[in-house]
Chain A
Amino acid sequence: MSKIKYFIQQSWLLLVTSFLFGLLIAVADAAWSAKIEQNKAEKLRGLMASLISDANSFELAIQEANLPGDKGRMIKTDIYKALDKQGNCAGFAFVAVGAGFADKIELVVAVDARCEKLLSFNVLSSNETPGFGNKMKNDSFRNQFKDAPAGKLLLVKIGDASKIDNEIVVISGATVTSTAVINIFNKSVISVKEQLQKKGLITANGR
């Protein structure tokens, strides 16, 4: 009995303050957790909307699809279907991951309704060398991918960057990063197309 008394005597402050602090955190959480969830959802939607200009709304096409990721692993990602104002399919968008030079590269990719052409992409997170691999975020590199045939991209050292075809001009001094980006597209778009076709979400006239 005296042991318990001693214990309480020593630690009553600890117990009381733990309780109070726990209360404070619970209040803060209750007040703000909704906003945090909202932020998360909005962030991805905002990015996807910026990639597909016709898009009016997004709906989940496939949840937790398996896509090839970095280090030979499969990752789970959601594939979203973009709907334009008439409710027709304006394209698909998803997050793709691949192994870059320094660390993994996460991209938000948008493809057209038939999953054959790339619409655009944005970099979600990457750790590539500033001034070299980091140039993949520049418009001059990214614009080469507009309407390029997905899955068949080829890296070339010299070429015309403004021509829209399957040849992508490498970033000078950043071959590994450029190759990584090409590989992410080639691998993941093929996989996405397969899975969408299996679920019958891609139709002949692109609706």
Chain B
Amino acid sequence: MDRVYILIMGFLSVVIVNNFVFTKFLGTCPYLGVSGRLDTAFGMGLAVTFVTAMSGILTWLIDFYVLVPLGLEITRYICYIVVIAGAVQLVEMYVKKFFPMLNKSFGIFLPLISTNCVILGLCLFINIWGTDNLLEVAVLSTGTGFGFAVAICIMAAIRENLILADVPDSFKGAPITLITAGLLTLAFMGFTGMIR
């Protein structure tokens, strides 16, 4: 029971309290670029969750069973990025073949994801946190992707309404999005201390 509690708390913490976009500033590039409309944002969020879950688990496995025992920690960054790039390729091929409808909603995002900071950031943070069992890694990875999806969907919903607001010309687009994101981080800060 305790184990499950830790897992649930871990998931919630990574989605709400330590959201990767709002507290760690990862994934800002696609965040700014893709949050214009709710349906594209949702597609991106879904794709990212997919890829983070896979990459988190894969990179942890490689680190745990190959890099550390063999003392090859130096190659960690290279291994991680190659695995991530490979995982994205694989997911892309798989989705194209078996889920063509899903592929349509992902669009061009899937290839773009490999340069998304969230994925490499997640793998590195799992490494830094010293997580030591596979289930926790799986939950944290999925949670991070999910947190990104939540963040980007909220932003898309807000931006869709912002179009109707009276924003000064030079602030339209990225600047107002960033300021909105800042206010969102403030709101999410209210969740700190929720999990002990």
Contact = CB atoms under 8 A, between A and B. Distances in A.
Interaction A to B: yes
Contacts of B133: none
Contact of A25 (B2, B6, B18, B75): B75
Interface string A96-119: 000101110000000000000000
Contacts of B192: 101-102, 129
Q: Could you say which interface size class chain A belongs to?
A: 10 to 19
B193 A25 contact: no
Contacts of A99: 196
A176 B193 contact: yes
Contact of A71 (B6, B18, B78): B6
A176 B196 CA distance: 10
Contacts of A22: 75
B4 interface: no
A101 B75 contact: no
Contacts of B17: 102
Given A25-B74, A71-B9, 14 more contacts: A21-B78, A22-B75, A25-B75, A25-B78, A29-B74, A71-B6, A71-B196, A72-B2, A99-B196, A101-B192, A101-B193, A102-B192, A102-B193, A103-B18
Nearest to B193: A101
Q: Which of A22, A26, A29, A103 has the most CB of B within 10 A?
A: A103
Interface in B46-95: 74-75, 78
Nearest to A22: B75
A120 B168 CA distance: 54
A48 B196 CA distance: 28
Interface in A5-24: 21-22
Q: Could you say which interface size class chain B belongs to?
A: 10 to 19
A21 B81 CA distance: 15
20 contacts: A21-B78, A22-B75, A25-B74, A25-B75, A25-B78, A26-B74, A29-B74, A71-B6, A71-B9, A71-B196, A72-B2, A99-B196, A101-B192, A101-B193, A102-B17, A102-B192, A102-B193, A103-B18, A129-B192, A176-B193
B31 to A, nearest CB: 22
Contacts of B78: 21, 25
Interface string A21-60: 1100110010000000000000000000000000000000
B20 to A, nearest CB: 14
A176 B74 CA distance: 39
A102 B188 CA distance: 12
A22 B192 CA distance: 43
B99 to A, nearest CB: 29
Contacts of B75: 22, 25
Nearest to A180: B196
A131 B192 CA distance: 15
Contacts of A25: 74-75, 78
Nearest to A177: B193
Contacts of A176: 193
Interface string B163-196: 0000000000000000000000000000011001
Contacts of A101: 192-193
Interface string B135-148: 00000000000000
